Structure 1
Amino acid sequence: MSQQNDPVVVLPPATQITRNWVERVLVGLKFCAPSNPSLIQDRVHYRVMDDDLDDAMTSLIEECEHLDQNSHIENTLMIFPDNMQHFYSFKLVADMARELMAEQGFSDQYQLELLHPHYRFRDSSAKNPINYIKRSPYPTLHLVRKSCLEYALLNFPEGSEDGGKKNRMLKRGEQGIAQMQCLAGEAWEAA
């Protein structure tokens, strides 16, 4: 009996680095509890984007339509590896994307989150370890089904044991920053 081997899929570097970050940081540290089953069941779609803003907005709508047509996919990560490095400029792009989603009728089904290497929560210092929850290797727009978010809120409450561990680690100040930088670096180097 011959054994058939599945072909090896080679991912673009930006996709592999982002996937490693999702697995090791978001899922590994349980920052994003609903992602764990999604990753195990391959329910995340990764798309590497070019630098053109008009193309990005067109691609955003294509990805919303792709989610509409593929109910097994719960998340789409639109990765911008070569541009959009300025956090506040990328935040404006995310705002434009949300407006476009609303105009096109997708904002009821999908939520758009912003991930960025220099992410900074409002009213937090740049060195606050909590920022690392949304500090991705590359500027990234994260489309997620709202039904998945609702499930996560019901099944993974903020006060749960995992949430408590996460908050304790992130409140360790410099030690928390060092740990997050180490994990992020490992994820990026593993590609």
Structure 2
Amino acid sequence: MAGMNASVISDEAVLNRSRQWLERAVIGLNLCPFAKSVHIKGQIRWVVSRAQTPQAVLDELVSELRHLAEVDPEVTDTTLLVLPDAFADFLDFNDFLDVADAALEDLALDGVLQIANFHPNFQFADTAEDDVTNNTNRAPWPTLHLIREASIDRAVEAFPEAETIYERNMALMSELGSEGWARLWDEKP
């Protein structure tokens, strides 16, 4: 499920494909048992950033972190910052995550918010590029998921053994296989 060439795709198409990923993979395969609730309640803020440089992405990230910290959680519980024009290379994206985490600390939001990441070429250490388990963290475009720590705490209380989600997802991907993953993206009638 590689992202399309972002320079020729509209923000609306980026959002539609990203929502499809959320609904079919993240929620549909239950990769994150906490995602369905905020999606159904409309508490996800979707932001398409057309930033192309690390500094421009950082500027938008800081703005979104501030917004999430200030907005009522009942209105926006989490933010997905989709970056169709930045970080085509996974290693560059991965390096940027240190900058993103430093921004959390600079804003004194470390421990209040956290940043998860997804990339079309995500690769776990010690896996082959085509290892199906990498799909647990693959999205159509580089995406920064801004999450409230309080929401994570509540979700973990409601989901016993949350630490097993990672292993379950890896096993699910192995069972699904590359063909099963590809079928998720077939257009539905």
TM class by shorter chain equals 0.7 to 0.9
Q: Could you say which residue in structure 1 is the equivalent of 2:22? A: 22
Specify which structure has the bigger relative contact order, considering alpha-carbon pairs within 8 angstroms and separated by 6 or more residues.
1
Q: Which runs of 5+ in 1 are unaligned?
A: 1-9
The answer for the alignment partner of 2:112 in structure 1 is 109
Q: Tell me, which stretches of 5 or more residues in structure 2 are unaligned?
A: 1-9
Matching residue of 1:82: 85
Describe how 1:47-58 pairs up with structure 2 within 5 A. 47-50=47-50, 51-58=52-59
Aligned residue pairs, count:
176
Conserved 8 A contact 2:156-2:162: no
2:62 aligned partner: 61
Q: For each residue in 1:117-163, what CA deviation from the matched residue of structure 2 results, as whole angstroms up to 9, or x when unmatched?
A: 01111222223222111100001111111112222222224579988
From 89, 96, 101, the equivalent of 2:99 is: 96
Root-mean-square deviation (CA, aligned residues, Å) is 2.5
For residues 139-178 of structure 1, the aligned pairs below 5 Å read 139-158=142-161, 166-172=169-175, 176-178=177-179
Could you report, residue by residue, the CA deviation over 1:68-109 in whole angstroms, capped at 9, with x for unpaired residues? 222221211111112311100011112211111111111221
Moved beyond 6 Å, runs of 4+: 159-165
C-alpha distance in structure 2 between counterparts of 1:166 and 1:42, whole Å:
25
Whole-Å separation in 1 of the counterparts to 2:97 and 2:171: 30
The answer on whether the counterparts of 1:34 and 1:148 sit within 8 Å (CA) in structure 2 is no
**Offset at 1:164?**
8.0
- The SS at the match of 1:142 is strand
CA distance in 2, matches of 1:58, 1:167: 34
Does the alignment pair 1:118 with 2:108?
no
SS in 1 for 2:81: strand
> What is the alpha-carbon distance in structure 2 between the residues aligned to residue 168 and residue 58 of structure 1?
37
Pick the structure with greater CA Rg. 1
Secondary structure (helix, strand or coil) at the match of 1:100 reads: helix
